[in-house]
Amino acid sequence: MTKYLMATKNEGKVRELRQLLADTDIEIISLNDLSDHEEVEETGLSFAENAVLKAEHCYRKYGVPSIADDSGICIRYLLDMPGVFSARFLPHLDYPQKNALILSLMEGITERKASYECVIAFASEEGTKTFHGSCEGEIAFAAAGENGFGYDPIFYYPRSGMTLAEMDPEEKNKISHRGEALRKLVASFE
C-alpha cells in the first residue's frame, strides 16, 4: 500500500480524498495522524503558491509524498476578495459573522457572480504538480443550509437552485472546486 500525507487537519477534506481513492492501493494520512505537525504559514499571493508551500514543507519534513490545498471564494463585486485570504479574512469573526458581513456588503447589489477556487499541490521525489478546480456561482441573498462549511451557506449554485450548504455532501463533491481538483489529482495517479 502506498502512503500519502494530506497536509491538513480538516477531516472533511481527508474523508473526501479517501472516498475518491477507495478503489486504489493508496492510504491517506493527515496531520492529525502525526504528533509533531505544525501549521505552515500561507505567505503566497496565490492559491497555487500557498498549496505548493504546504505540500513541499510536509514532503521535506516527513519524507512522505504530500498533498495540500488552498482554496477560497472570489466575489466579483468585491474585486475577487476575500480570494486567497478567505481563511484569514477577518480572523476575529466566525464564519456565520463573515457571511453576514458579506451579505450586508452585497445588499442592493445585482452583480453577484462569485467562484470558489481550489489548487491542490502534490509534492514527491518527482517534483511538485498542481491541479486547479473551480465552481462558478453567485452570492445568495440570504444564508441557507446546514451542510458544508465556511462560505457554503452564501454560495448559491444556480444549476441546482440552492446554496452549497443546502446540498447533500455527495452532490456538492461532484460540482465543487475541491472535488474537481481532487479528481484531477487522482487521475494523475493512474
CA distance 132 to 46: 12
The sign of the dihedral angle between the CA atoms of 8, 9, 10, 13 is: positive
| Catalytic-residue membership of 70 | yes
Q: Which stretches of the chain are DSSP H helices?
A: 11-20, 47-62, 95-105, 169-175, 177-189
CA distance 107 to 79: 16
Catalytic residue among 25, 36, 69, 70: 70
Active-site annotation, residues = 70
